[in-house]
A = this chain, B = another copy of it.
Amino acid sequence: MSPFENLISPSTGFTRDIAALTAAGSTTANEARTKLSTKARILHATESLFLQRGYEGTSLRAITTEANVNLAAVNYHYGSKEELFALLLQERLDPLNADRAKRLEALQAKGFDREHRVEQIIATLFLPALALARDTDQGGPDFLRFIGRAYADPSDFVRNLLAERYAKTNLKFKQAFAEALPHLSEHDLAMRLNFILDAVSSTLASEDVRRVIGGIQPSAVNDDTTLLAYLAPFLGAALRANVRTAAQIAALQTL
């Protein structure tokens, strides 16, 4: 098999592997994992280590050790470290961004609620991630951390990949926010969007997201709306806040 085959037909739905095997009779997910193909085990190990240490912090030897696989298997099956991680990122984030774009179009076609326009766009931006995080076939409970890692990763490789591959979707959301927040200049809006996206990314990347989710409101409808109930007003208030004049701020404390 050519080492580049995956890049031609990348969609494997690889989380389904483990689910199928565990259902079939194996006791633990760990046992099931040892029965997967070498190629699949590499991908699972890569995801697990990327969650913990990011792109640059994850060596191929760490991956092959975790996967119980020979070192050369990575280059044989995936070509290179970059191609391996590109495949992993696309596999995970392509469905996310497709869902985001679809929901935004649906919302625009249906029309906004005048009062909660910003919150609606925020919800459209984050609900797909939460939905996928609850779908064990697509992402599973670690999916939020995965997103956070990906969008907060400092390596040029990951940043460029995300910027190029999801530029169109990002632009659509930016335009939607711009229409909902006409009092902000393009400059202001870009800065505030960077703020909230950075903040959400690093929060999701932190190890205790689930603890946070679980600790907010025990009586919530479900995890999705619980976390959104938490984030939306916070982010919405930040985006909506008026620009204060310098004189107003100077009065707050003497320099």
Contact = CB atoms under 8 A, between A and B. Distances in A.
Interface of A: 54, 56-57, 103, 107, 113, 116, 119-120, 123-124, 127, 131, 154, 187-188, 191-192, 194-196, 198-200, 202-203, 206, 212, 215-217, 220-222, 224-226, 228-230, 232-238, 240-250, 252-253, 255
A45 B229 CA distance: 47
Q: When A and B form their complex, which 6 residue pairs have the shortest distance between CB atoms, in order from nearest?
A: A237-B241, A199-B199, A238-B238, A237-B237, A198-B202, A195-B199
Interface class of chain A by DSSP: helix
Given A199-B199, A202-B198, A203-B195, A123 B249 contact: yes
Given A124-B253, A203-B194, A248 B229 contact: yes
A127 B107 CA distance: 41
A113 B232 contact: no
B250 A225 contact: yes
B252 A120 contact: yes
